[in-house]
């Protein structure tokens, strides 16, 4: 049983538009166009976000603007970002900047205003929850396709890098469905994201962009892997 590609494309588009809107809003805070308390309320509360988006609809960049008919689920999704991956900081202060990060000595770097939007820190508990979400995604795939998989075997399967990335993608797709309903699973989702968008050395993959087709392909590979483990 394969996922609905059109539904995945819609959810991925919603995810990307939500991220762009959050960045645009954070920039508006920095420039004083929107005050911090107002922005925080818009980002956390779907109803407040919807009201604000309707008022400022034409000012929002087209690549971050939701379609009118998608506004309610979009705002539910948008509200999950401050719980899952980012936090808005009212007075971020300054941070040291170095071009290309080649040297941070006083001669080669200088202080710049820190951004209001910062990435949340992933704690060990978040990583454990992400592991559970990966296993659950695999077990769900096995159940839907009537494949019997031993959890011990599944844990061994997920030790392989490609299977780990694929399970992260499939679990992230499951989470996208929940986020459209305003359900946030916290920084564990950020850990999932890094499971497929970062490489083994812990650095972001250059030029990575999430596509619905990547999820479909990952699920197909996992299906074949689980089916093979059942026969073994």
Q: How many residues does the chain have?
A: 232
Backbone angles phi, psi at 108, to 5 degrees: -105, 5
Q: What percent of the chain has pLDDT over 70?
A: 80
Comparison of pLDDT for 39 and 110, the residue scoring more: 39
pLDDT of residue 209: 95
Distance CA 133, CA 145 (A): 18
Residues 5-30: pLDDT tens digits? 999 999 999 999 999 988 888 777 77
Assess contact for 108 and 135: CB atoms under 8 A: no
pTM: 0.85
Q: Positive or negative, the Cα torsion across 15, 21, 26, 27?
A: positive
* pLDDT of 114 over the 50 cut: no
Cα 50 to the center of its chain, rounded Å: 21
Distance CA 16, CA 165 (A): 20
């Amino acid at each position: 049983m394969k996922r609905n590609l059109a539904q995945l494309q819609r959810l991925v588009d919603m995810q990307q538009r939500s991220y762009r809107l959050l960045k645009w809003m954070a920039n508006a805070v920095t420039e004083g166009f929107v005050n911090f308390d107002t922005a925080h309320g818009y980002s956390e509360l779907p109803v407040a976000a919807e009201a604000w988006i309707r008022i400022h609809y034409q000012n929002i960049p087209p690549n971050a603007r939701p379609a009118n008919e998608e506004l309610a689920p979009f705002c539910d999704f948008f509200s999950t970002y401050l719980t899952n991956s980012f936090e808005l900081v009212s007075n971020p202060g300054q941070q040291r900047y170095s071009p290309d990060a080649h040297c941070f000595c006083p001669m080669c770097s200088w202080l710049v205003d820190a951004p209001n939007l910062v990435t949340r820190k992933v704690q060990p508990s978040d990583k454990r929850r992400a592991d559970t979400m990966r296993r659950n995604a695999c077990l769900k795939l096995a159940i839907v396709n009537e494949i019997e998989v031993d959890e011990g075997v599944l844990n061994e399967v997920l030790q392989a890098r490609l299977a780990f990335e694929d399970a992260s993608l499939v679990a992230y797709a499951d989470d996208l469905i929940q986020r459209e309903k305003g359900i946030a699973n916290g920084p564990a989702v950020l850990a999932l994201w890094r499971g497929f968008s970062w490489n083994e050395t812990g650095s972001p993959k250059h030029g990575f962009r999430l596509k619905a087709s990547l999820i479909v392909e990952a699920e197909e590979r996992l299906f074949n892997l689980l089916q093979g483990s059942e026969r073994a």
